Amino acid sequence: AGKRKREALPPGKGKRARTGPSAAEAEAAPAGAPQEYSIPPPVSQGKWKNKERVLIFSSRGINFRTRHLMQDLRTLMPHSKADTKMDRKDQLFVINEVCEMKNCNKCIFFEAKKKQDLYMWLSNTPQGPSAKFLVQNVHTLAELKMTGNCLRGSRPLLSFDPIFDKEPHYAVLKELFIQIFSTPQYHPKSQPFVDHVFTFTVTDERIWFRNYQIIEEDASLVEIGPRFVLNLIKIFQGSFGGPTLYENPHYQSPNMHRRLIRLSVAAKFREKQHVKEVQKEKKKASKILVKEDPTEVVFETPAEEKPVEIQLVKPESTPIVKDKKKLRKIQRKKQKKLFRTE
């Protein structure tokens, strides 16, 4: 007889998944024998149709806080992808080719300048539109240590300020935020739960981003993080360039802000120097003698003249004694002398 190969099965027979025992087998099996059950594979509730993929990466020269913020966004967005840092010399339109190679149709790009200014690009590649923001007041998940928490890969709710429906440029940004930050339904890396909220609030001509956990059904919230503020600069028609659709009139560049601070400090210093020079000139100026006022003597009342007493006898010198006992002895001796003379 020919030897069968290891783990080989006869033709027509294959491996089958274990299922629960049938009713006839359950009756035939003894009472003490263990029963085997198999867990069926998870059934997909639907098909993944919205295949949005977001590329999140940055340029060279970012600091540690920006790097942690970028990692937090990747953690919160299961439909995101990462890439190596882009060189500063490369033009921004090269990002469209990088997104095409990574099979991504949305992009979040962090651009660092002067090792202190951080800019964020949100773009719909390759057609557009795209928006450029100045990122301020960045606080990461590890830095905040908030009490809230959410499931990794869960789908968030997006909450927008009512002003997003009133202004046209905010309406464009709202659609851009929805397509980038919302996790597609039935995404392979996502979880079928909704347990946190992304809020976008407009205050002081800036967009404030917050992430909250939904604790109860009565909409009680606890902040998770991260948090940052977006100051809109421009909205472009194309991806990372093109005609300008909107420019923020309230925007002030960080360079101009630092320049105004320096000018205010310099103005204070110049004012102090001017005060010192005025004081020196006053000291150097010749003194002007004021004439005597004859009316000053009106209210002066002369004091009474006391008789002059001339003392012919030298006053007795009193010994200075610190000890009280010695002083008493000296006084007694004087009294005895007076008594004897009398």
pLDDT grade for 342, boundaries at 50, 70 and 90: low
284-308 residue pLDDT tens: 877 777 788 888 888 888 888 888 8
153-199 residue pLDDT tens: 899 999 999 999 999 999 999 999 999 999 998 898 888 889 999 99
Q: What's the CATH fold of domain 54-257?
A: Rossmann fold (3.40.50)
Cα-based distances in Å from 186 to 46, 47, 52, 133, 263: 6, 6, 12, 31, 56
- Positive/negative CA dihedral, 71, 76, 78, 79: negative
Domain ranges of the chain: 54-257
Nearest to 75 by CA among 145, 143, 153, 147: 153
Q: What percent of the chain has pLDDT over 70?
A: 86
Alpha carbon distance 118, 112 (integer Å): 5
Helix (H) or strand (E) holding 64: helix 64-76
**Phi-psi region at 186: left, alpha or beta (left = phi > 0; alpha = psi -120 to 50):** left
User: With a threshold of 0.95, does the pTM exceed it?
Assistant: no
96-123 residue pLDDT tens: 999 999 999 999 999 999 888 999 999 9
Alpha carbon distance 187, 155 (integer Å): 10
pLDDT: which is higher, 139 or 15: 139
Q: Is the pLDDT of residue 260 over 50?
A: yes
pLDDT of residue 1: 42
pLDDT grade for 312, boundaries at 50, 70 and 90: confident
pLDDT of residue 32: 56
